[in-house]
A and B are shown apart, each in its own frame.
Chain A
């Protein structure tokens, strides 16, 4: 046994020479069963249920006024947030990598906050700050700006939740980027902005796109913070995930499934795009 498995262990990823040991088969089976049961099967259940009454039933469920408005609102707010993130995330990453200033380490830590803090807590925080009876919220209200229980609240919540994505994808690329060209352009008299636009931006553009797509995907599915902040008025501030929650609560499983399928299709496309982009830039550890 030892000679054969030894050979196998020395070249574990060479196809054609695979001699299966029981342990290997067991591990593979475990991986397939676990992911199959935990991920594939639930998604199959949703697709099956959404098309339970055929394609026409699916269309009726997605095209009703409330559902359509919810989908529109979700996509619109996600687009706004993604654009802001592309700009502010890139700027933040640039400042964090290229400049030295006191408090940089703290800033770098604080940026991870949205990854750690529960999204519902983020929502409660925003209501505590911008709620109509609170100091800042009352002041803004007096000046005719309503944040919480309105669209700006949704955008604000999504901005908090998705802030780290672009930063965390751009930062490592910027750190590894060759600084020679940048210095050269700068020494030749190009302004900082021109240098950034002509030299830095082309290098980090794929990372910006990847980070933006990830934050878009995250924004599409966000529930915890929005359900607290948005006010959830059907047709006005009801987003797609909150719409799904409403349909589940009112026992309309087919309607919930239909909207779920739309969101799933959108985020699945995004994830595949991201995988493809990343695969082009560097060979990921599974692209063997």
Chain B
């Protein structure tokens, strides 16, 4: 940076001011674009949710439908996050530390949920577990209802948030030297003990980053969940589905209020992610 400043001082004054002007113009364009695209709609929705006063906002958010939908959303998000964290760490380890035929295929499969439209993700569950689905005879025999019930919502949420933990943990894991792991192992620690005391602490920031991304994505899912839930209020209605139904019913205050609430939850997660990102960068550079 200082070299840059020095280099500029040599040049003429007019050129310096022209460069500065150009710099400010570029900054202004970017700041204006980002503000118009991201912040203006945010202000509009907060405004809209308070259109009928704070009382209406509180009333909408404390309705039985709203509360039960929030509860279901949190349950599904926590469930999907736990499942994807356990399997995600496992798969990341296999991708980085193991070598066998088919590893590249596994790696390709991990990316698919990012490439597939969420609606398609939900639709696959109907094809597998719907009225004429491949697994329907099996689930019927077991007495489990998947589609238009909670297991379907959970499966849909797990699918769309599957890659995050793997994609955040794998690069960190590949940088952790296996010497320490080997040392612990040689001393006589079991594989599980080695993982718990050596590997896990080394990947913890990347893992937490992946976990928060998974959770954020799981809370906000609509396409996949819309297809499989059936949307029975107070039973299979998540918060995003609550918004969707409120829009259909022209209950704009309710839709806006829930949207503001979900946006607030996302913001908190975003801040956590920012903090974690700083921590990961620090641990990587140190």
Contact = CB atoms under 8 A, between A and B. Distances in A.
Contact of A224 (B103, B118, B227, B270): B118
B196 interface: no
Contacts, number: 284
A56 interface: no
Interface in B24-78: 26-27, 29-31, 33-34, 37-42, 44-45, 47-48
B216 interface: yes
A223 B118 CA distance: 7
B30 A107 contact: yes
B116 A122 contact: no
A34 B87 contact: yes
Interface stretch (A64-72, A201-209, A230-238, A265-273): A265-273
A92 B38 CA distance: 14
B106 A88 contact: no
A109 B118 CA distance: 26
B87 A128 contact: no
Nearest to B159: A38
Interface in A231-288: 240-242, 244-245, 248, 253, 256-257, 260, 263-264, 267-268, 270-271, 275, 285-286, 288
A35 B134 CA distance: 18
B56 to A, nearest CB: 15
Nearest to A100: B1
Contacts of B39: 110
Contacts of B243: 120-121, 124
A197 interface: no
Contacts of B42: 113, 125
Contacts of B107: 286
Nearest to B124: A42
Interface in A82-103: 88, 91-92, 94-96, 99-101, 103
Contacts of B108: 271, 275
A217 B116 CA distance: 9
A14 B120 CA distance: 39
B240 A27 contact: no
Interface in B95-115: 95-100, 102-104, 106-115
Contact of A28 (B100, B104, B158): B100
Contacts of A179: 4
B247 A244 contact: no
B88 to A, nearest CB: 9
A13 B256 CA distance: 52
A38 B221 contact: no
A9 B182 contact: yes
B17 interface: no
A38 B220 CA distance: 20
Contacts of B267: 116-117
A49 B94 CA distance: 32
Contacts of A221: 115-120
B205 interface: no
Given A15-B99, A31-B106, A285-B174, A119 B159 contact: no
Given A217-B115, A224-B240, A286 B3 contact: no
A115 interface: yes
B165 interface: no
Contacts of A14: 99
Contacts of A124: 45, 243, 247, 255-256, 259
A13 B98 CA distance: 6
Contacts of A150: none
A288 B99 contact: yes
B174 to A, nearest CB: 4
Contacts of A46: 120, 123-124, 127
B117 A13 contact: no
30 contacts: A13-B99, A14-B99, A18-B100, A30-B87, A39-B112, A39-B113, A88-B30, A91-B30, A101-B27, A109-B271, A110-B34, A110-B39, A112-B273, A116-B266, A117-B267, A119-B222, A121-B259, A122-B41, A124-B247, A128-B48, A192-B19, A221-B115, A221-B119, A224-B220, A227-B244, A241-B119, A248-B122, A256-B123, A260-B123, A285-B170
Given A6-B185, A120-B222, A260-B120, 6 more contacts: A118-B220, A128-B48, A179-B4, A220-B117, A221-B119, A285-B170
Task: Please provide the 9 A-B residue pairs with the shortest distance between their CB atoms, ordered closest to farther.
Answer: A118-B220, A221-B117, A42-B124, A125-B41, A129-B44, A223-B223, A267-B115, A285-B174, A116-B266
